[in-house]
């Protein structure tokens, strides 16, 4: 999870791999007195039951980390599934996942199956 939150991590060859999250585009600084930290803003700002207003959804909805203040986006879930499969493969329980580049292509594809 730390790799996802950082947005980058070394791959098996040692090169820096970019997971493709829009972390910097949606980043905001939170301050309290002298303390501050940077966090990603949520992508959806509409009401609990939805919204017909297109401005309620950020322009980076395909690569945002959080949909609202609680829920990860489908893009984030796709990467979490990759890391779970990778750990299960290390334990010998399943086949290894695709390459990092292959996973990023899969996660960003617009023709993913609808749930």
Closest by CA position to 45, among listed 58, 30, 29: 58
Q: Which has the minimum average pLDDT: 27-36, 44-53, 55-64, 105-114? A: 105-114
**pLDDT value for 115:** 45
Place of tokens 């017909």: 52
Contacts of residue 25, Cβ cutoff 8 Å, sequence gap at least 6 = 60
pLDDT category of residue 29 using cuts at 50, 70 and 90: confident
Residue range 45-63: average pLDDT? 87
Residue range 28-45: average pLDDT? 87
**pLDDT value for 1:** 61
C-alpha span between 48 and 99 (Å, rounded): 37
C-alpha span between 100 and 112 (Å, rounded): 17
- Count of Cβ atoms closer than 10 Å to residue 45 Cβ: 14
Rounded to two decimals, the pTM is: 0.75
**pLDDT value for 69:** 81
pLDDT category of residue 96 using cuts at 50, 70 and 90: very high
**pLDDT value for 92:** 95
Query: Would you state the torsion angle of the CA atoms of residues 20, 110, 76, 103, taken in this order, to the nearest 10 degrees?
Result: -60
Instruction: Assess whether pLDDT exceeds 90 at residue 93.
Output: yes
């Amino acid at each position: 999870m730390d790799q996802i939150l950082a947005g980058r991590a070394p791959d098996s060859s040692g090169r820096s791999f970019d997971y493709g999250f829009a972390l910097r585009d949606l980043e905001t600084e939170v301050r309290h007195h002298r303390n501050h930290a940077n966090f990603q803003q949520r992508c959806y700002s509409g009401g609990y039951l939805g919204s017909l207003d297109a401005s309620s959804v950020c322009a980076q909805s395909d690569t945002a980390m959080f949909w609202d203040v609680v829920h990860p986006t489908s893009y984030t879930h796709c990467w979490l599934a990759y890391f779970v499969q990778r750990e299960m493969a290390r334990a010998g329980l399943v086949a290894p996942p695709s390459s990092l580049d292959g996973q990023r292509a899969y996660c960003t594809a617009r023709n993913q199956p609808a749930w």
